[in-house]
């Protein structure tokens, strides 16, 4: 099993040290469930609504906060996997991409949906990794259904099914 690397940075003060292993577990489970057999590196920024709104504007010209943003390094299609040829020679890791998560939004959504903040963070991490691996949900049809099915299957493997 490949050893994936997660580089976490934060610009908010209220990040629990317990969040980090939890996020790494969700990210690694997603990569494993998708059959990624090369060690990958993912950069994770934990921020608040203001921080993610600024990134959303800078990168997508959308002037609104969101829960998670994903910036893939490769143009993959669902089911495609990065290969050893994609690895950085200096680290041996495939730089899969970046994710930004608003902890403020995750807490609000957890309350709104009636589940734990941990479940919401896991969902956002799984969702983001699937984006890094080429999944998308721009339509309301088969692409979205395919992504949602993968999210729910992976969350079930983590023991975080919807109530």
Enumerate the domain spans of the chain. Answer: 5-157
Q: What are the tokens at 33?
A: 């469930």
Distance CA 79, CA 134 (A): 8
- Which residues is 7 bridged to in the sheet? 43
Q: Mean per-residue pLDDT for 63-67? A: 97
Classified by CATH at the fold level, domain 5-157 comes out as Collagenase (Catalytic Domain) (3.40.390)
Q: Count other Cβ atoms within 10 Å, centred on residue 130.
A: 23
Q: Is the pLDDT of residue 75 over 90?
A: yes
pLDDT at 17: 66
pLDDT in tens, 128-158: 999 999 998 776 678 888 899 999 999 999 9
- Mean pLDDT of all residues belonging to the chain: 92
pLDDT at 13: 80
Q: Mean per-residue pLDDT for 95-102? A: 97
What band does 101 get if pLDDT is binned at 50, 70 and 90? very high
Helix (H) or strand (E) holding 101: strand 94-102
Distance CA 40, CA 3 (A): 8
The pTM (predicted TM-score) of the whole model is 0.93
Nearest 5°: phi and psi at 123?
A: -60, -45
């Amino acid at each position: 099993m490949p050893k994936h690397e997660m580089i976490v940075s934060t610009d908010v003060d209220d990040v629990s040290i317990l969040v980090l292993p939890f996020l790494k577990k969700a990210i690694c489970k997603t990569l494993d469930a998708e059959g990624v057999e090369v060690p990958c590196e993912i950069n994770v920024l934990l921020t608040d609504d203001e921080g993610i709104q600024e990134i959303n504007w800078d990168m997508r010209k959308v002037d609104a906060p969101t829960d998670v943003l994903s910036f893939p390094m490769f143009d993959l299609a669902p089911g495609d996997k990065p290969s050893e040829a994609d690895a950085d020679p200096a680290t041996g890791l495939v730089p899969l991409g970046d994710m930004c998560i608003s902890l403020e939004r995750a807490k609000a959504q957890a309350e709104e949906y009636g589940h734990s903040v941990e479940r919401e963070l896991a969902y956002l991490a799984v969702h983001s990794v699937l984006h890094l691996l080429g999944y998308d949900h721009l339509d309301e049809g088969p692409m979205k259904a395919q992504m949602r099915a993968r999210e729910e299957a992976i969350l079930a493997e983590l023991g975080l099914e919807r109530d």
